[in-house]
Amino acid sequence: MTPPEQPKNAAGSASPGPLRPLGPQAVAGVFSQGGNVALLHRAVVRDLANRRAGTADTKRRDDVRGGGRKPWRQKGTGRARQGSIRSPQWRKGGVVFGPHPRSFAVGLPRKARRKALALAVGAKAAAGALSLLSLDGVELSKTRHLVAILWPDAKAKATRERVLVVVHADGDADAPGLAMHGRNLARASVVDVGGLSVHALLAHDRVVMTKSAYDKLAEVCGAGS
């Protein structure tokens, strides 16, 4: 596999690579470093709950077709009295306390959501799992080029880390290419910064952001602090 071309800096020498790690000090001005686990938990619960479609449905006894007449007379047969063959105790009868369409949406104030995003990004930076992606002068015409960027050596590939790539659709010219190549990779996810969630940040082992996406997220989290 041919590694991607290394971008050059102003002096003409090769830079360390497309990925530049961001430590806690680099993000301390914008993204929180505190350990508000309760807020992170609320944000993750909200993200997962809002994914649910809530379309499961069952039929009550009055929704099931048939059962309009009494199956047998009330007395004199020796059998238990029955009023309808669509009662819950009957096969093909209605369902008692079954699921019906509902909304599972969980609310969270805007400032709390932005604070949770800042906490999640800060946690990734503190764990050494946050990097900035620069694609200047880097070839990205094939999926293997993205693989070489995200997992540059055999050791990185052996760890089987899941990588989240955050792009800014309005600010990154390479966003469509990253999204297209990311669809081919089982261990990589490409999301737009506008749809970034706390759950996505915490569920991946490493987070890679473009400069435009990082600036946009810093702007949003700064406004919510």
Which residue in 174, 131, 176, 191 sits closest to 156, CA to CA?
Answer: 131
What is the Cα 114 distance to its own chain's centre?
16
19-42+108-224 folds as Ribosomal Protein L4; Chain: A; (3.40.1370)
Backbone angles phi, psi at 182, to 5 degrees: -65, -25
Question: What distance in Å separates the CA atoms of residue 150 and residue 206, rounded to the nearest whole number?
Answer: 9
Query: What confidence score (pLDDT) does residue 30 get?
Result: 76
- pLDDT on residue 223: 56
Q: Give me the pLDDT at residue 7, please.
A: 42
| Strand ordering across the sheet containing 206-210 | 19-21, 130-133, 206-210, 163-167, 188-192
Q: What is the pLDDT of residue 167?
A: 93
Q: How far apart are CA 160 and CA 173, in angstroms?
A: 28
Q: Is 30 left (phi over 0), alpha (psi -120 to 50) or beta?
A: alpha
Q: Where in the chain is the domain with CATH 3.40.1370.10?
A: 19-42+108-224
pLDDT digits (tens, 9 = 90+) for 9-43: 434 444 457 888 888 888 877 787 677 899 999 99
Q: Is the Cβ–Cβ distance between 43 and 116 less than 8 Å?
A: yes
Strand partners, 166: 191, 209
Q: What pLDDT shows up at residue 6?
A: 44
pLDDT of residue 9: 41
Task: Write down the pLDDT at residue 138.
Answer: 80
d(CA 91, CA 61): 12
Q: What integer pLDDT is reported at residue 12 of this predicted model?
A: 43
Given the DSSP bridges, would you call strands 130-133 and 206-210 parallel, antiparallel or unpaired? parallel
Please give the structure tokens belonging to residue 128: 């050494």
Which residues does the chain have with pLDDT short of 70?
Answer: 1-16, 33, 223-225
